């Protein structure tokens, strides 16, 4: 005779497990091995073991007997659903879920949605989310701005306040499901009689029907509207970042929660500034004479003009940092910096006189004034 597996091993718990732990372990195993879910060979046999283990370990007296003697009275068939599981093969199989505290426990085992005490689906329909793309100028994104934007979406009908029923009337309890939003049905399978719960086809799970629909929205509870809303774009927002505007998506039928509006930002390029994270970069052209002698330059920043000291002997390509002159950090504290890259400009379109003067000046210098040229 084959030795039965240890019940604690079957459920994957130890002997000190609480009643809640045992129940949780059983539900997990039932999701995995129930023959209406698992079609693999051997699933029925494993489910039988799971049921037998739970029947014993969930009953205090049977558990005590099992812990002391390694056995208990299994004459009742060991089906925690009530009745015999009989290997799932006979026509006598009937799934009675009364021991699981209502339909919420059934759906919890087999993967359905949660329900309330009346059996109606507690998660009402939610309106669709909407998406929109908005272009901002470089400075608008850098400094932040409030903009009025136009959107078209479904709104709750003002005449029926979203109920779908004609003004002065109310929706009535559904005659098919009795207001529960769900209907039960029985199906004969090779495993026996299976009782299922589905959304009511007449009221679509709402539990109510409308005899006199609202003339404005034709009973849907929603109307299509175009309107303007004010949106605050925070300082530092960047290209491809998205803002969520709660409740400005499509309204749900019959008073459900509205969806949200998601706004994706695109930033138009600037003629002077470029952005790298929170830092701003510009290129500043200066004459060869200012580069040689040094200059206090007036520099454009996102906040206006600022002074920058460029020392004598500055070379083309050198970069200067203006601390705190960049963009506010959207996620974090403080601001970035502005980096100024110098581009030394060589004079063009020289006159004969200018060329002569430059030659005279050139003769005043020697190789020590041009270390890079001398080194090369």
**What is the model's pLDDT at position 197?**
83
> Looking at the structure, do residues 240 and 290 belong to the same domain, yes or no?
no
> Looking at the structure, do residues 48 and 155 belong to the same domain, yes or no?
no
**What is the model's pLDDT at position 191?**
62
Q: Locate 206 and state its tokens.
A: 């709402």
**What is the model's pLDDT at position 47?**
86
> Looking at the structure, do residues 11 and 32 belong to the same domain, yes or no?
yes
263 domain residue, yes or no: yes
Strand spans (E) along the chain? 130-136, 145-156, 172-173, 182-189, 192-199, 208-209, 222-233, 242-245, 261-267, 274-276, 279-287, 295-301, 304-310, 319-322, 338-345
User: What does the alpha-carbon distance between residue 310 and residue 293 come to, in Å, rounded to a whole number?
Assistant: 9
146 domain residue, yes or no: yes
**What is the model's pLDDT at position 51?**
87
**What is the model's pLDDT at position 239?**
94
> Looking at the structure, do residues 215 and 149 belong to the same domain, yes or no?
yes
User: What does the alpha-carbon distance between residue 372 and residue 358 come to, in Å, rounded to a whole number?
Assistant: 20
**What is the model's pLDDT at position 65?**
79
User: What does the alpha-carbon distance between residue 203 and residue 176 come to, in Å, rounded to a whole number?
Assistant: 8
CATH number of the domain within which 78 lies: 1.10.287.110
In the chain, what is the straight-line distance between the N-terminal and C-terminal CA atoms, in Å? 95
70 domain residue, yes or no: yes
Residues 231 and 166 sit within 8 Å (Cβ to Cβ): no
Return the closest-CA partner of residue 236 out of 337, 328, 136: 328
Residues 162 and 219 sit within 8 Å (Cβ to Cβ): no
> Looking at the structure, do residues 146 and 247 belong to the same domain, yes or no?
yes
Domain count, the chain: 3
CATH number of the domain within which 248 lies: 2.60.260.20
Domain limits for position 323? 274-368
CA distances from residue 211 to 93, 174, 175, 181 in whole angstroms, order as listed:
42, 11, 12, 17
Q: Locate 201 and state its tokens.
A: 């086809």
- pLDDT mean values, one per 10 residues, the chain (376 residues): 73 88 87 76 84 87 78 47 39 38 42 41 71 96 96 91 86 83 76 77 80 88 93 95 94 84 96 96 96 96 96 96 95 92 94 93 86 78
Residues 151 and 235 sit within 8 Å (Cβ to Cβ): no
User: What does the alpha-carbon distance between residue 66 and residue 6 come to, in Å, rounded to a whole number?
Assistant: 10
> Looking at the structure, do residues 221 and 317 belong to the same domain, yes or no?
no
**What is the model's pLDDT at position 91?**
34
> Looking at the structure, do residues 36 and 76 belong to the same domain, yes or no?
yes
Residues 159 and 167 sit within 8 Å (Cβ to Cβ): yes
The total of other beta-carbon atoms located within 10 Å of residue 359's CB is 9
**What is the model's pLDDT at position 355?**
93
């Amino acid at each position: 005779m084959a030795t039965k597996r240890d019940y604690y091993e079957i459920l994957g718990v130890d002997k000190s497990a609480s009643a809640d732990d045992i129940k949780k372990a059983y539900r997990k195993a039932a999701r995995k091995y129930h023959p209406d879910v698992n079609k693999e060979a051997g699933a029925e046999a494993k489910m039988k073991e799971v049921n037998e283990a739970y029947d014993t370990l969930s009953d205090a007296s049977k558990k005590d007997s099992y812990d002391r003697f390694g056995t208990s009275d299994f004459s009742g068939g060991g089906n925690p659903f009530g009745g015999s599981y009989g290997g799932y093969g006979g026509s006598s199989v009937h799934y009675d879920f009364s021991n699981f505290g209502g339909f919420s426990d059934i759906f919890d085992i087999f993967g359905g949605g949660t329900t309330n005490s009346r059996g109606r689906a507690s998660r009402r329909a939610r309106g669709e989310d909407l998406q929109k793309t908005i272009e901002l100028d470089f400075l608008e994104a850098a400094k932040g701005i409030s903009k009025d934007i136009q959107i078209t979406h479904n709104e709750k009908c003002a005449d029926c306040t979203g109920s779908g029923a004609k003004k002065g009337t109310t929706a009535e309890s559904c005659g098919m499901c009795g207001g529960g939003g769900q209907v039960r049905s029985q199906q004969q399978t090779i495993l026996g009689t299976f009782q299922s719960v589905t959304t009511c086809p007449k009221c679509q799970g709402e539990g109510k029907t409308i005899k006199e629909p609202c003339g404005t929205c034709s009973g849907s509870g929603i109307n299509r509207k175009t309107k303007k809303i004010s949106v605050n774009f925070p300082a530092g927002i960047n290209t491809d970042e998205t803002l969520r505007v709660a409740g400005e998506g499509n309204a749900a039928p019959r008073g459900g929660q509205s969806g949200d509006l998601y706004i994706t930002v695109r930033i138009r390029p600037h003629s002077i500034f470029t952005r790298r994270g929170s830092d701003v970069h510009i290129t500043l052209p200066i004459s060869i004479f200012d580069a040689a002698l040094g200059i206090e330059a007036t520099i454009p920043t996102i906040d206006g003009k600022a002074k920058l000291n460029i020392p004598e002997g500055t070379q083309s390509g050198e970069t200067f940092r203006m601390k705190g002159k960049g963009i506010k950090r959207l996620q974090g504290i403080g601001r970035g910096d502005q980096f100024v890259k110098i581009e030394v400009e060589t004079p063009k379109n020289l006159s004969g006189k200018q060329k002569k003067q430059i030659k005279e000046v050139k003769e005043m210098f020697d190789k020590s004034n041009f270390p890079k040229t001398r080194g090369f």
